[in-house]
């Protein structure tokens, strides 16, 4: 039997029935509830005009996160709370400090993007809990919002000003109690128009569902699949939603490995992993899409979708990450690099799904770096993404692991270059040979992001940059090789 989708909005319990499972949250807000403060711009999670905040219980704790409503399906709201710009008006009619700061600092002109900015700032307002945000935190919070007329200076001024105004508290305990009352303990299925949306709660339920519905689409953060609906207008059929399986969101550390559940969000995953690799991965964390995308998308989904330009896979492969796969026959593990058989082809047996990603912790003697080349610092798809993990003994390369994204049909290791480097002195002469050998490992394509020649030249130069940072004599610090280092240092001051 079909069960309704139940969620809180504007302080009321709402129920969805007879609404297509792939109807977006934005469509429901604007067309069904006639709450038109939230705007539609790109319909693909890039412009931020549609930003809302979602409240949910994650492993018993309340989480409030800004997301793009244009690519989130309304059916995923079950058991959650939805907040749009209409929620910010105070009981006496006064503006919220976030809105008041935008007015005082002249942070709006045409106004189309303003509700999205306000919701992103409100998400940061809740997260900061009275603490004044740094410039870097402000930039990160606004990385998914585009403004084409006001410019960012007055909006950044508003982000600083909002914390100086009389504070408006948010009753987290009351919301958590409301969501706890909505929580389902077992599988729920919502059906409409012949399409079924299955939402398991446990791994066992997920295994059984996957075996019973092998053709159903697995849905996590919807940051990729949402575009199949909004841009490609695809009928994606039945859905198995992973967002309510708490076991998939767990992140644990044991036996020298960080095990990240496939349902853990990108932001949560990077937050834990970057504690172990702060100098190597913090910039990648900041530059991976935008905060609303990282708040929704999952590391497991990024890996399972297998995009050749996914930014997580090169560094995961270079570090020697493993996948934990689960299916009717049980659990098995495999190196991530063996998972990709070809473009959009993965080594998944019938009924299997990705349960977790295991990331090795730092090891003595291993020099690790990852680099992203794109046309913008924030929220851009890589032209080339490179990762290097070398085990060095003095100035000798004992083991080399090199992986690139954007250079082949899948994220791929540079096997010939690695073989050339093994046992050699990590010298400039060896480097030049290795740079030449990269052309034997990759034959990149030309597309709208970069030409084949550009990709090859920059891939070779990134290997040179790695050498500059890790050579035995006078290695260069980050500030000498990273154009953004000075900016980051200034923003954190």
Amino acid 107: pLDDT: 96
Contact indicator for 463, 402 with CB cutoff of 8 Å: yes
Mean pLDDT of the 312-321 span: 97
Find residue 322's DSSP bridge partners. Answer: 335, 358
Which CATH number covers residue 130? 1.10.150.120
* Coil vs helix vs strand at 400: strand
Q: How many CA atoms lie within 13 A of 454 on its CB side?
A: 14
pLDDT band with cut points at 50, 70 and 90 for residue 162: very high
Strands 396-405 and 412-413: antiparallel
Residue 183, pLDDT > 80, answer: yes
Residue-by-residue DSSP string for 292-331 = HHHHH-BHHHHHHHT-TT-SHHHHHHHHT-EEEEEETTEE
Taking residue 94's Cβ as centre, other Cβ atoms within 10 Å add up to 12
Q: Is residue 298 part of a domain?
A: no
64 and 189 belong to one structural domain: yes
Contact indicator for 281, 359 with CB cutoff of 8 Å: no
Q: Is residue 361 part of a domain?
A: no
Query: pTM of the prediction?
Result: 0.94
Last residue of a domain, one of 164, 191, 216: 164
392 and 461 belong to one structural domain: yes
| Angle, vertex CA 352, rays to CA 346 and CA 355, nearest 5 | 95
CA distances from 261 to 12, 190, 250, 324, 436 (A): 33, 25, 5, 9, 39
User: φ, ψ for residue 63 (rounded to 5)?
Assistant: -120, 135
Mean pLDDT of the 472-482 span: 86
* Coil vs helix vs strand at 462: helix
Q: What is the residue range of 13's domain?
A: 5-87+172-241
- Quick: pLDDT tens for 206-220: 999 999 999 999 999
Amino acid 309: pLDDT: 77
Contact indicator for 324, 259 with CB cutoff of 8 Å: yes
CA distances from 142 to 117, 132, 152, 330, 430 (A): 7, 15, 9, 43, 43
Amino acid 480: pLDDT: 83
72 and 178 belong to one structural domain: yes
Mean pLDDT of the 71-97 span: 96
Amino acid 487: pLDDT: 54
Amino acid 326: pLDDT: 97
Q: How many CA atoms lie within 13 A of 486 on its CB side?
A: 3
- Quick: pLDDT tens for 408-457: 989 999 999 999 999 999 999 999 999 999 999 999 999 999 999 999 99
Separation between Cα atoms, residue 229 and residue 20, nearest integer Å:
12
Which CATH number covers residue 81? 3.10.20.30
Mean pLDDT of the 103-132 span: 96
Amino acid 491: pLDDT: 52
Residue 486, pLDDT > 70, answer: no
Tokens found for residue 484: 């953004």
- Quick: pLDDT tens for 344-392: 889 999 999 999 999 999 999 999 999 999 999 988 999 999 999 999 9
382 and 422 belong to one structural domain: yes
- Quick: pLDDT tens for 218-260: 999 999 999 999 999 999 999 999 999 999 999 999 999 999 9
Tokens found for residue 338: 């063996």
Ramachandran quadrant class, 295 (left: phi over 0; alpha: psi -120 to 50; beta: rest) = alpha
Domain count, the chain: 3
Q: How many CA atoms lie within 13 A of 101 on its CB side?
A: 24
- Quick: pLDDT tens for 266-310: 999 999 999 999 999 999 999 999 999 999 999 999 999 888 778
143 and 160 belong to one structural domain: yes
């Amino acid at each position: 039997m079909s069960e309704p989708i139940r969620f809180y909005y504007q302080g009321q319990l709402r129920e969805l029935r007879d609404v297509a499972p792939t109807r977006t949250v934005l469509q429901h807000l604007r067309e069904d509830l006639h709450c038109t403060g939230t705007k539609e711009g790109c319909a693909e999670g890039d412009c931020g005009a549609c930003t809302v905040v979602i409240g949910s219980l994650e492993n018993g704790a309340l989480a409030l996160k800004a997301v793009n409503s244009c690519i989130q399906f309304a059916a995923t709201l079950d058991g959650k709370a939805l907040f749009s710009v209409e929620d910010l008006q105070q009981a006496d009619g006064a503006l919220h400090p976030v809105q008041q700061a935008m007015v005082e600092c002249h942070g709006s002109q045409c106004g189309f993007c303003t509700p999205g900015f306000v919701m992103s700032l409100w998400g940061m307002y809740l997260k900061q809990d009275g603490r004044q945000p740094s410039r870097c935190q402000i930039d990160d919070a606004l990385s998914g919002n585009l403004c084409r007329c006001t410019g960012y200076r007055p909006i950044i001024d508003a982000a600083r000003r909002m914390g100086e105004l009389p504070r408006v508290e948010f009753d987290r305990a009351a919301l958590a109690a409301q969501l706890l009352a909505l929580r389902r303990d077992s599988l729920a299925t919502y059906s409409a128009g012949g399409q079924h949306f299955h939402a398991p709660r446990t791994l066992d339920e997920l295994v059984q569902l996957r075996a019973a519905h092998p053709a159903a689409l697995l849905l996590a953060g919807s940051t990729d699949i949402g575009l199949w609906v909004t841009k490609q207008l695809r009928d994606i059929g039945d859905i198995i939603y992973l967002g309510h399986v708490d076991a998939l969101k767990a992140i644990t550390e044991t036996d020298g490995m960080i095990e990240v559940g496939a349902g853990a969000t990108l932001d949560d995953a990077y937050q834990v992993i970057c504690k172990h690799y702060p100098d190597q991965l913090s910039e990648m964390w900041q530059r991976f899409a935008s905060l609303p995308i990282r708040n929704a998308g999952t590391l497991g989904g990024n890996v399972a979708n297998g995009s050749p330009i996914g930014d997580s896979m090169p560094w995961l492969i270079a570090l020697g990450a493993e996948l934990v796969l689960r299916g009717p026959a049980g659990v098995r593990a495999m190196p991530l690099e063996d998972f990709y058989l070809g473009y959009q082809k993965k080594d998944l047996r019938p009924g299997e799904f990705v349960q977790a990603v295991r990331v090795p912790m730092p090891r003595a003697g291993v020099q690790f770096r990852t680099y992203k080349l794109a046309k913008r610092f924030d929220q851009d798809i890589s032209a080339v993404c490179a990762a290097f993990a070398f085990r060095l003994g003095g100035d000798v390369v004992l083991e080399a692991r090199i992986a690139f994204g954007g250079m082949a049909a899948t994220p791929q290791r540079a096997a010939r270059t690695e073989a050339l480097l093994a046992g050699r002195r990590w010298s400039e002469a060896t480097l030049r040979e290795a740079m030449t050998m990269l052309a034997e490992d990759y034959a990149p394509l030309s597309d709208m992001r970069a030409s084949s020649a550009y990709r090859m030249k920059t891939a070779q130069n990134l290997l040179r940059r790695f050498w500059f940072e890790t050579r035995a004599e006078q290695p260069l610090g980050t500030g000498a090789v990273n154009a953004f280092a000075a900016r980051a240092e200034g923003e954190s001051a």
